[in-house]
Amino acid sequence: MTDPARTEPAANGAGTIAVTGVTGALGGQVVRLLSDDFRVDLRLLARDPDRAPDIDTDIRACEYGDLDASVAALHGVESLLMVSASESADRRTEHRTFVRAAVEAGVRHIVYTSFAGAAADAAFTLGRDHHDTEQAIRDSGLDFTFLRDSFYLDVLPLFADAEGVIRGPAGDGRVAAVARADVADVAAAVLRDPDAHRGATYTLTGPEALSLADVAERAGAVLGRPLRFVDESVEEAYAWRREQYGAADWQLDAWVSTYTAIRDDTLAEVSPDVERLTGHPPRTLEDALTDG
């Protein structure tokens, strides 16, 4: 349902803003931030609208791989936050379909949640998917802003198994992981004034680079559960994951390269972008685990 108060054009001329992934952690945080702003004319796009956040605004059904439904859901949208879909074998195709839908629907500006160091040969193999989507958006001719997120600080402790062991070939490498709440703050700031961020690529990191041993020790202290990191070889990493999960090769590559990308310090650089865009310092691991 549309709240009449929200149908007024945004004071900054941003027009209707659509957000995808609203049933998830990041998209949900972004819409909560934007819904506090009466100047924002907000549209929520969800695969299952019944699970969308309970916000009095326009909610439409939308699945990236469904071109017609996506075009219909995007009609009248000026700016779009496209939250990358959950990893899957078809994600590149689904993302390309959705970008095409945005063009057909007349969307002006896409803000896309990409990945730090997205490139055709990114060490983290899913960074290659993000590069593919960035290319599709560049080729579409739409205005864009890319938010290249590092790994999420709040997700790293979830790598631990039932015994509290984070196991993978990350060695002493470090990662400048970012709090998901900071990504949400940045996304909301960009969506409030997309023109100011046209053509920009931002790298979103936390305030420091941490080894997984650091993450285990510090996250364990916050969570009140002893965690530890155990290094392993690439061969060991593939072997037990293949045996335990029987996963496809692309999925195994994604899991194992999460660790090797850290091992090789490909995600260790700290970026000033979160502070520059939000006006506050990036959240620490402790912040991310306590204030979400």
Ligand X SMILES: NC(=O)c1ccc[n+]([C@@H]2O[C@H](COP(=O)([O-])OP(=O)(O)OC[C@H]3O[C@@H](n4cnc5c(N)ncnc54)[C@H](OP(=O)(O)O)[C@@H]3O)[C@@H](O)[C@H]2O)c1
Contact residues for ligand X (CB under 6 A)?
20-21, 23-27, 47-48, 63-65, 83-86, 94, 113, 149, 151-152, 155, 180
CB of 212 to ligand X, least distance (A): 13
The residue nearest ligand X at its CB is 24
Of 21 and 157, the one with the shorter C-beta distance to ligand X is 21
Of 10 and 227, the one with the shorter C-beta distance to ligand X is 227
Of 94 and 236, the one with the shorter C-beta distance to ligand X is 94
CB of 4 to ligand X, least distance (A): 27
CB of 177 to ligand X, least distance (A): 7
- Give, for 213, the enclosing helix (H) or strand (E): helix 212-223
DSSP helix/strand/coil, 164: coil
Farthest-apart Cα atoms in the chain, separation: 59
* Residue 64: CA count within 13 A, CB half-sphere: 22
CB of 110 to ligand X, least distance (A): 14
Residues in the chain: 292
Burial class from Cβ neighbours inside 10 Å (0-12, 13-18, 19+) for residue 137 reads buried
Beta-strand (E) ranges in the chain? 16-19, 41-46, 58-61, 79-82, 109-115, 143-149, 165-168, 174-175, 201-204, 210-211, 228-231
Of 47 and 108, the one with the shorter C-beta distance to ligand X is 47
Of 10 and 151, the one with the shorter C-beta distance to ligand X is 151
Find how far residue 91's CA is from the centre of its chain.
14
Both tokens of 55, joined, read 């916000």
Both tokens of 232, joined, read 């392993």
CB of 238 to ligand X, least distance (A): 21
| Whole-number Å distance between alpha carbons of 70 and 25 | 21
| Whole-number Å distance between alpha carbons of 21 and 32 | 13
Of 31 and 213, the one with the shorter C-beta distance to ligand X is 31
Of 144 and 151, the one with the shorter C-beta distance to ligand X is 151
Of 11 and 155, the one with the shorter C-beta distance to ligand X is 155
CB of 258 to ligand X, least distance (A): 8
59, 49 in Cβ contact below 8 A? Answer: yes
CB of 183 to ligand X, least distance (A): 8
218, 156 in Cβ contact below 8 A? Answer: no
CB of 11 to ligand X, least distance (A): 28
Phi-psi region of 203 (alpha: psi -120 to 50; beta: other; left: phi over 0): beta
